[in-house]
A and B are shown apart, each in its own frame.
Chain A
Amino acid sequence: MSALGGGFRSPSTPSRNRPHGNLAALRIAVIVLFGILTAQLFNMQILQGSDYARRSRENHLTRKEILPPRGLILDRNGTPLVRNVGIYTAVITPTFLPEEPEARYALYLRLETLLGVPALEIQSRVKEKEADGKGDIEFPIKEGLTKEQALALEEMTADTSGVALSIQPGREYIGGDAFSHILGYIGKQTPEEYRDLKGEGYSLNEPVGKGGVELTYQEILRGQKGATAAEQDAQGNLLKALKSRDAVPGDNVRLAIDVDLQNYIAEMLVDSLPNPVTMNQKNATQAAAVVMSAKTGEVLALVSVPTYDNNIFAQVAQRGAEYEELATNNATRPLTNKALSQALPGSTYKLITAAAALQEGNITPSTSRDIPSRILEIKGENGVIYPLVDWRAHGSGIDLTQAIAWSSNIYMFMAVCGIPNGSLQPHKAIGKDVDSSASIFAYYQRAFGMGQPTGIDIPGEDIGRVPDPAWKARNYAGPEYTDNDRDWFYADTCFTAIGQQDVLATPLQIARMTAAIATGKLFTPHVAKDILDADGKVVRTIKPDWKSVPVDEANLAAVRRGMHESVLAGAGLRAQVPGMDIAGKTGTAEFGTQRADLTYDQHAWFTGYYPYNDPEYVVTVYFDYGVGGDKAAPAAANIFSWMNQNLK
């Protein structure tokens, strides 16, 4: 017989019951249908076979990334300020959960016992994910597990599928609260961050720096991800590891910050906040201090009080109320770095004023005036006489040194704005008219780093403000202002010259400016000193970066003489430390509205450097309430003294 059985044809009979069907069609149908199947099979297995083979490999080969240990952050002496810790999270992948509802619920109940998350809540969240078609993506059911919970969960996952323990790299900040503003913190990427970072090979679960040094040096601290490939079954169980590449730890960042100095200043500033009852001032609530090298621009201390514990960001789940309180405290804004926040700089600004006037030749160091009265009356363009006020009657024969040492306002008005009329002997302005005086002065302010970022390696600094005619016109452009509001007047320049009214600067900008007065170099400040690899070898040093200020050394020296005199026998006397040769300048910036006794609230400033002859360190101190000479100068003295005794 033929296998296909086609050949047999029997003789037919005339019977009515004779089969008469046409079976050829059926044979054709068999061949056609199997032909269709063969064609599709050929298409899938032969033509697209290698593509499907690749998909098969992708299907069962799972690549798991190993996140590298993040680089550490050290102080200038190598003391670690951070520690890497694991953050334990219980996660669920709905697809891998048992199929039967009873088994699932039993699992939820076990999780409830272990983690304290209600089984019903887990159930509804799983259902939600499945309804969204995200059943194959793991999601967290509880973050921040204790070590005991993590261990118990790890044990439990051995005999269950769908539940896993996820360990995320986390940070513990061990340097103390004083470092919170400098270090920042790390956290999960936001969707926006991930969109930008994806291109750089980041995976979504990689934590990234969220502020401070953690953010600026993210790429250095990050390290390189490792990976393992393993075979995985349809339930997500890993069967065998195939190959792996180790992760490379991130490099360490060594800061220029001195941990002891930083902590000392933070404590000292907190202790100094209350004002003596005799002072006509509110108690200070906020303070900042900057200690900067006058030779390199590196920052040895950058303090802002009040501060907070930045470990809170890793524990927002547990410490939510605490965080809420910090974030909504508008009185002292503890999350804000005051050392990088702008405020009226007051008389510290006179250092720029003096340098500008000397350089423009409008005064010489020996230019002197008798200043017999607190009031200088100037007749304005409109014929009205305006009183310009000094803080005291300085007396006769006030030269530049005395004017800086005793912080004379009227001398500084003369130096920049000139004295066009009035009770005092007239003096020319640095420009040919009011506007050009303001512009020339603005040029010097900017040359000393005002109104622009300092470039410090901590994100989020204020840029300050240099008021000039263009700024004023812009600022009062709105229809609610008149042309009179927009005009730049003689007095505007005068107020700027003494750091009042519209000018704004951060403590760091003032420190940087002070270093420029001391050395002629406007440094780019930086808190990082160098980059070390995991073995502690220096792989990169952050080099000093500066530009020269456009003021002759002789003129700077004249300003420095005034600062020296200030601490020796002037308004900055209380910054004096026996055995140290310090130069400095106080500042008392009036702000807010005039009080009933005609006084104002005041910010207290002191900025100075030592040694006077060979400037090494700049110290700038700021309090939100206080008088410069009485409040900031003694605090600066404490810092100078501590540095003199302890700094290696």
Chain B
Amino acid sequence: MAATFGPGRQRGVFRGWDRFDYVLVLSAVGLVVFGLLLIYSGTYRTYEGPPASFANPVTKQAIFAIFGIIVMLAVSKIDYHYLTHYSPVLYGISLLSLVAILLMGHSAYGSTRWFNLGPIQIQPSEFAKLATILLLAKFFSAHGGDAKDLRTLIFSLGIVAPCFALVFIQPDLGTSIVFVSVWLGVVLVAGVSRRHLFILAAVGLAVLPFAWTFFVADYQIERISVLVDPEEDPLDAGYNVIQSQIAVGSGQLTGKGLTNGEQTQLGYLKVATKDFIFSLQAEELGFAGSMVMFSLFIVLLMRGIRAAQIAGDISGQLVAVGIVILILMQAFINIAVNLSLFPVTGIPLPLVSQGGSSLVSIFVSLGLLQSIIMRHRAYRQT
């Protein structure tokens, strides 16, 4: 036995598909199906081609979902330690593609976020998030999972900072916040000293006014001020805020029914199947539908936290924590934007929004969670 498990003492031990977390997968598939219904509702009036075509947003999303599930299964099979081992390479590629996109990317709604590869658009920031999480996990694992040392803390900040900066100047305020949240969550779990955190927070607050002046684009300020008073500029930046408010509010308890929301169907709600898909959901399926969606997210996240809990080692735990925070913050910011609690920023709703890059990258991260679950320490102990 010892020979068989020799390498496994340091890496994880694969214990077979019987440990596979089906609840995690089912909640994710549930959210994807939710998304497919909403994408159908949001696009059937404008899409006129055959249903089986790749041009049909629903079909395209379903194909991406199936592809994502296959990738997830494949990633589950891989020991996550290989990925953390090669995370510097993945991280390097991500950084390069983020730099490349700044130079040549496609611009939509005033920001540069993706590459065009034929019919597929690839958004490198989606994968950069994962690469960052893996590198952070590797880094803390090498340092005994301890962020108590101020130097370690600042080094870890150095890992996040380049991605944060590149995403921030795209500009993508929401994803930048996701990066910060992931880092913060990981260092908290890695046991950062409160004193150090306060010092960093103080420095951050001191730098903030300068960052605001020099780095926050005018459009971001406008979006923030629009959130404060959307009626100020109802037809420009405030338009989406007002229309999403009306869509959400008018959904009331049970919604207007799928494909029956006037805000969506008559075109008042812009990007209704992407960043504003939650408004579509709230208008057509109401408060009740939203509660179902929230439940699915909570189950998914709790299963992710469970993965962190049972992880076999520090790197596994930190990867799981990073992924949970990644999904949590994206979902929270996206829905908060839809509910006018947060300035408009281009963050998709994980698993639900139309868009292949986000979908596949989330499935990759779910695969990572499965990989961690299937190699958890209970098995390593035996």
Residues of A within 8 A of B (CB): 1, 3-6, 8-11, 13, 15-23, 25-27, 29-31, 33-34, 36-38, 40-42, 44-46, 48-53, 55-57, 59-60, 95, 133, 135-136, 231-235, 239
Contacts and interface: CB of A to CB of B under 8 A. Distances in A.
Contacts of B307: 5
A60 B266 contact: yes
Given A21-B308, A30-B302, A56 B250 contact: yes
Contacts of A30: 298, 301-302, 305, 324, 328
A46 B314 contact: no
B150 to A, nearest CB: 19
Interface in B249-288: 249-253, 262-263, 266-268, 282, 286-287
Contact of A41 (B233, B248, B303): B248
Given A26-B324, A52-B250, 18 more contacts: A3-B303, A5-B302, A5-B305, A6-B302, A11-B381, A19-B311, A21-B189, A34-B332, A37-B339, A40-B341, A41-B248, A41-B339, A45-B290, A49-B252, A50-B252, A133-B233, A135-B235, A136-B235
Nearest to B317: A19
Give chain B's interface residue range (CB within 8 Å of chain A). 35 or more
B245 A17 contact: no
Contacts of B328: 29-30, 33
B377 A21 contact: no
Most buried by B among A46, A50, A56: A56
A26 B267 contact: no
B88 interface: no
B interface SS class:
helix
B287 A19 contact: no
Contact of B302 (A3, A33, A59, A95): A3
Nearest to B286: A45
B291 A21 contact: no
Given A40-B341, A41-B287, A45-B287, A56 B246 contact: yes
Given A33-B328, A235-B267, A19 B339 contact: no
Contacts of A22: 188-189
Nearest to B335: A37
Nearest 5 A/B pairs, CB to CB: A52-B249, A5-B306, A21-B189, A234-B267, A56-B250
A595 to B, nearest CB: 70
Contact of A44 (B249, B262, B298, B311): B249
A38 B336 CA distance: 10
27 contacts: A3-B299, A6-B306, A11-B378, A17-B141, A18-B314, A19-B317, A20-B145, A20-B314, A21-B190, A21-B191, A21-B321, A26-B185, A33-B328, A34-B294, A34-B297, A36-B336, A36-B341, A37-B339, A38-B294, A41-B339, A44-B282, A45-B251, A45-B287, A55-B250, A60-B263, A231-B262, A239-B266
A27 B250 CA distance: 32
Interface of B: 21, 23, 141, 144-145, 185, 188-191, 233, 235, 243, 245-253, 262-263, 266-268, 282, 286-287, 290-291, 294, 297-299, 301-303, 305-311, 313-314, 316-318, 321, 324-325, 328, 332, 335-336, 339, 341, 376-378, 381
A5 to B, nearest CB: 3
A161 to B, nearest CB: 11
B34 to A, nearest CB: 15
B344 to A, nearest CB: 16
A8 B309 contact: yes
A60 to B, nearest CB: 5
B362 to A, nearest CB: 16
A30 B326 CA distance: 12
Contacts of B21: 1
Given A5-B305, A30-B301, A60-B262, A13 B377 contact: yes
Contacts of B318: 21
Nearest to A55: B246
A530 B287 CA distance: 63
B89 to A, nearest CB: 23
B267 A53 contact: no
A57 B249 CA distance: 12
B305 A10 contact: no
Most buried by A among B251, B267, B309: B309
Contacts of B189: 21-23, 26
Given A8-B306, A59-B246, A26 B321 contact: yes
A187 B252 CA distance: 47
A41 B313 CA distance: 39
A239 B268 CA distance: 14
B281 to A, nearest CB: 11
Contact of A45 (B249, B267, B321, B325): B249
Contacts of A16: 144
B316 A45 contact: no
Given A33-B332, A55-B250, A234-B267, A44 B23 contact: no
A473 B310 CA distance: 109
Nearest to A31: B298
Nearest to A54: B250
Nearest to A30: B301
Contacts of B190: 21
A22 B187 CA distance: 11
B195 to A, nearest CB: 17
B377 A10 contact: yes
Most buried by A among B23, B245, B301: B301
